[in-house]
Amino acid sequence: MANTDRLLQEETLASEGIARVLEQAGIDMVFGIQGGNMGRLYDALYDHQDSVRAVLVRHEQLASVMAEVYGRLTGKPGVCIGQGIFMLANGFLGTLEAHFGSSPMLFLTDFSDVAPFAQHAPYQSGRGEYGGADTRQALSAITKHTLTALTPTEAVHAVQLGIKHATTGERGPVGIVFNSNCFSGGMVDPNSRPYLYDTKAYLPEKLPGDPVRVEEAVCALAAAERPVIIAGNGVRISQAYGQLSALAGQLGAPVATTASGKGVISETHDWALGTCGNFGQGTA
């Protein structure tokens, strides 16, 4: 059945709409620095501080790293927020790790384009016009997908789409770049098309394993004489820490982890071998 529940019932600023989207997605922490047009988003988050905690950092790099770790551990998109050119210069460390490690993440920033003067080389503009940087192109190189929003309604919808792309298929970071028009005072009209619907329609559903393949795996493991488990980042993505530990104990199977799977089983577990690969332990 199609989702017909509207996100908004009244005219709303884009910043307030975005805060509600984060709230509906169960994202309870965001990380960043107030600056440029993104400061408007913090104004809205102040009114939602009981459900979404805004963690202010000293440097954009820290925001991206904290967002990546949040996404890796919770399975919900970690959100880093900051002004365009500074996020472009400093916010890529955690974003690269999210890209390499398939961690869900939202990279929220602005063009700092001082609309309608983007073609007049405003200071620190990132829209790609003469005299400015190309924020979208730079982000596209290290994200799963990059969205741009030009209006208040697009700004809210872009965050919903970003959550969907970050958490479905192979997870990863999604960049969202806002035009200054998104936060310049224009309102989101809930009665204008295209409508904005409840965020639950953009959240992935966890699907059960194929019972035939699960049975085949069980038979193969039961028949193995000296089973060894190599555990990777998939254990973290599926939050299957307890199941991995129990399986190792039941089979009597040593567990080595890949670099991206490090930590999915306790290093002091009776069956833990450590990390395998170039930077791993000899036992693994």
- Whole-number Å distance between alpha carbons of 241 and 49: 31
Q: Report, as an integer, the average pLDDT of 66-94.
A: 94
Each residue's pLDDT tens digit, 125-176 = 878 788 788 899 999 999 999 999 999 999 999 999 999 999 999 999 999 9
- Band (244; pLDDT cuts 50, 70, 90): very high
Taking all residues of the chain, what is their mean pLDDT, rounded to a whole number?
91
21 or 85, higher pLDDT: 21
125 or 45, higher pLDDT: 45
Number of domains forming the structure of the chain: 2
Provide the CATH number for the domain around residue 134.
3.40.50.970
- Whole-number Å distance between alpha carbons of 32 and 89: 14
Integer CA distances (angstroms), 47 to 19, 50, 79, in order: 9, 8, 18
| Residues 179 and 38 grouped into a single domain | yes
Single out the residue in 202, 230, 245 at which a domain terminates: 202
| Residues 116 and 225 grouped into a single domain | no
On whether residue 163 sits in a domain, the answer given is yes
- Band (3; pLDDT cuts 50, 70, 90): low
Q: What percent of the chain has pLDDT over 90?
A: 66
Each residue's pLDDT tens digit, 192-221 = 888 999 999 999 988 888 899 999 988 998
Single out the residue in 202, 226, 245 at which a domain terminates: 202
Provide the CATH number for the domain around residue 267.
3.40.50.1220
At residue 71, the pLDDT reads 96
- Whole-number Å distance between alpha carbons of 85 and 134: 10
| Residues 216 and 193 grouped into a single domain | no
By residue range, what is the domain housing residue 263?
Answer: 211-275
- Band (229; pLDDT cuts 50, 70, 90): very high
At residue 185, the pLDDT reads 78
| Residues 159 and 269 grouped into a single domain | no
Contact, 40 vs 187, CB < 8 A? no
On whether residue 284 sits in a domain, the answer given is no
| Residues 155 and 57 grouped into a single domain | yes
User: Which residues on adjacent β-strands are paired with residue 216?
Assistant: none
On whether residue 283 sits in a domain, the answer given is no
| Residues 125 and 170 grouped into a single domain | yes
